[in-house]
Amino acid sequence: MKLAINPSPLDVNMWEKQWVDWLAAQGRFRGETAHWDWLGKLLRVGPDGNIVLLALVDDDDSLCHGLMMIKWPMASRLAPDGFAAHVEYLEIAPWNRAAISPARVHKGMGTLLISYAVMCSVDWSLEGRVNLCSLPQAEGFYERIGMIACGTGAGYDRELTFFELPAMSVEEFLNGV
Amino acid sequence: MTMSEILKKKMTTRLEDGQKVDPRLLDRLDDGGPVGAGTERVSAIERPAKRRRVAAR
């Protein structure tokens, strides 16, 4: 498996279709992420480098196991006057989700993607701080990896819990990876 | 090599396109698989935003 940074639109389109087709073959729908349109998100990636799309893919690019879009800087809620890398979207391939596929092909894609978000944050001089608005079913995961719930998102995210990994917890999180 | 070791040894975290994921990491990690979808915006919340953008044109 390898990391793809800002992969080609053709690949992203193919991977997203694979996820939908795989779910359809199981008689399932994509659910809360059905409208996410990763291809459309990829088009937001510009030359400024403050929005990045990361993909975990097989070495031959044939399958994608997880996608994440990060942007920076986002104001930190835990560090006064500080900033964080913000995970705008994160989606794991359906065959890696316990709720859908108990056998899971890979079992740590969420942790791995958040690790990369932390590394981006360090690279961007944000001390490893990462924040995001969690979908309800993922809140337990973010709590377990040391992120702190701090209110709700803003605007259209106001119904979602806002989580942040503080700089002081970065080392502990990475040691657990 | 763990992520933490990478941080300590290299003091750089620049990710590279095509960078391989350590297979030992893949074998070891198990986060319970609850991360069906990560972040931001359920459909009911995002749809009004799309309509508003169209209306603003």
- To 10 degrees, what angle do helices B3-10 and A109-123 make? 20
- How many angstroms away from the CA of B36 is the closest CA of chain A? 6
Q: Mutation test of the interface with chain A: which of B17, B19, B41, B52, choosing the one with the most A Cβ atoms within 10 A?
A: B41
Chain Cα centroid distance, residue A105:
18
The model's pLDDT over B7-52, given as tens digits with 9 standing for 90+, comes to 665 545 688 999 999 888 888 888 876 554 455 444 433 444 444 4
Tell me which of A157 and A48 has the higher pLDDT.
A48
What is the value of pTM for the model shown? 0.87
Helix ranges (DSSP H) in chain A = 9-25, 38-42, 109-123, 139-144, 170-175
Q: Which residue of A lies nearest to B49 if distances are taken between CA atoms? A: A156
Cβ-based neighbour number of residue A64 at 10 Å: 24
Q: Mutation test of the interface with chain B: which of A22, A133, A152, choosing the one with the most B Cβ atoms within 10 A?
A: A133
The model's pLDDT over B44-57, given as tens digits with 9 standing for 90+, comes to 334 444 444 555 44
Q: Which residue of A lies nearest to B45 if distances are taken between CA atoms? A: A156
The model's pLDDT over A17-46, given as tens digits with 9 standing for 90+, comes to 999 999 999 998 887 777 788 998 898 888
DSSP state of A25: H
Do A118 and A165 form a contact (C-beta atoms < 8 A)? yes
d(CA A86, CA A89): 9
Q: Which of B35, B42, B45 sits opposite A110 (nearest CB)?
A: B35
How many residue pairs bridge chain A and chain B with CB atoms within 8 Å of each other? 170
CA geometry: angle A135, A109, A156, nearest 5 deg: 20
What is the per-residue pLDDT for B5?
A: 64
Do A160 and A142 form a contact (C-beta atoms < 8 A)? no
Chain Cα centroid distance, residue A152:
18
For chain A, what percent of residues have pLDDT higher than 90? Answer: 63
Domains in chain A: ranges and CATH:
2-175 (3.40.630.30)
CB contact under 8 A, B14 and A123: yes
d(CA A38, CA A14): 10
- How many angstroms away from the CA of B44 is the closest CA of chain A? 9
d(CA A176, CA B30): 11
Cβ-based neighbour number of residue B5 at 10 Å: 11
